[in-house]
Amino acid sequence: MRFSALLLLVGTVAFAADPSIGKKLVFSDDFNGDKIDEAKWNVIGAREVFTFVKFGKGSALRIGLKVKDDMIQNNVLTTRGKFSQQFGYFEASMRMNAGDGHAGTFRIITDDEKTPPSITASFHGTGKERVSPWARGVMESGFQDFRPDKPVGKFTDLSRKFHTYGILWTEKGFTWYMDGKAVHKLERKEFVRPMSLAFTHRIEEQDRPRLVVKSLPDDVDVDWVKVWK
C-alpha cells in the first residue's frame, strides 16, 4: 500500500482556531425527529436500520446493521443529488460502533467519485475505540490511499460518548479535526469538484471474519451535522 508523503501528521495535537469562524452555515440537521428529512438525504441499503433514539432533550439518528446470512452490507445516508459544495468545513457529532468487523464513517465525497480526479475524505471508525482520518483519491493512474503512518491517538470512549469529527476542505487540501483539535493534514490541490456528505455503517467481505454476530446490535449514532461555506 502506498502512503503519500504529503500526508502530514500534526506532531503534537494542539488546539486550532475554530475552522467555522468567518464562514456561513449552509447546511445542518439535528436529527430531532422521528424520520429522515428526505429533502436533505437519500438512503442506500436497508432502510429499516435507520431509526431515531432519544438522547437527553433531543434525539439522534441511529444506523444499525441488518442481520442476514453473509452480513455483507453498506448502509448509507447521503446528500448526493440534494446537497454538495466546493470547499468549506464539514462537521458532525457521532458515537462510533464498539466492536470489530464493521465500520461507521463520516465522509465527504466527490459527487462523481469514479471520474478522476476525485476523492473520499473520511473519519473511519473500526471498533475497539479506534478511529482514523483517511482519504482515497482516484487519479488517471488509478486510486491512491492516503493514510496516517501511525494512530492519531489512543481513545477509550469513542463508542460510549459523542465526539465531534470535522473535515476542513480548502484550495490547499484537507485538515481533519477531532473535538476541535487538528489531527491530520493532506496537502493536495487537484481535488476541486463539489462534494456531498455521507454517513455509513458497513461490513465488507474482508471484515466479516472479525465480526461477532452475537455482539449485535452495535450501532452508530449521529447527533447532528453542520456544513459551513
Burial classification of residue 48, based on how many CB atoms lie within 10 Å of its CB (0-12 exposed, 13-18 middle, 19 or more buried): exposed
pLDDT of 7 reads 40
Q: Are 203 and 99 within 8 A, CB to CB?
A: no
CA distance 154 to 183: 12
pLDDT of 56 reads 80
Confidence bin at 16 (pLDDT 50/70/90): low
Which has more confidence, 166 or 13?
166
pLDDT of 55 reads 84
Q: pLDDT tens across 63-121, in order?
A: 999 999 999 999 999 999 999 999 999 999 999 999 999 999 999 999 998 899 999 99
Q: What is the pTM of this model?
A: 0.91
pLDDT of 25 reads 98
Q: Kindly tell me the sign of the dihedral angle through the C-alpha atoms of 56, 17, 185, 225.
A: positive
Distances (CA, A) of 197 to 162, 176, 214: 19, 15, 31
Q: Which three cell numbers stand for residue 144?
A: 491512491
What DSSP line would sit under 30-97, residue for residue?
---SSS--TTT-EEES-GGGEEEEEETTEEEEEE-----SS--EEEEEE-TTT--BSSEEEEEEEE--
Reduced to 3 states, what is the DSSP secondary structure of residue 147?
Answer: coil
Burial classification of residue 89, based on how many CB atoms lie within 10 Å of its CB (0-12 exposed, 13-18 middle, 19 or more buried): buried
pLDDT of 13 reads 40
Say how far residue 63 (Cα) sits from the centre of its chain.
Answer: 13
Q: Which three cell numbers stand for residue 86?
A: 466546493
Q: pLDDT tens across 31-66, in order?
A: 998 999 999 999 999 999 999 999 888 899 999 999
From first CA to last CA, the distance across the chain in angstroms is: 34
Q: Which helix (H) or strand (E) holds 192?
A: none
CA distance 46 to 75: 6
CA distance 107 to 105: 6
Task: Domains for the chain: give ranges and CATH numbers.
Answer: 7-192+212-228 (2.60.120.200)
> HSE-up of 158 (CA within 13 Å, CB side)?
23
Q: pLDDT tens across 140-170, in order?
A: 999 999 988 888 889 999 999 999 999 999 9
Burial classification of residue 46, based on how many CB atoms lie within 10 Å of its CB (0-12 exposed, 13-18 middle, 19 or more buried): middle
Q: pLDDT tens across 181-228, in order?
A: 999 999 999 999 999 999 999 999 999 999 999 999 999 999 999 999
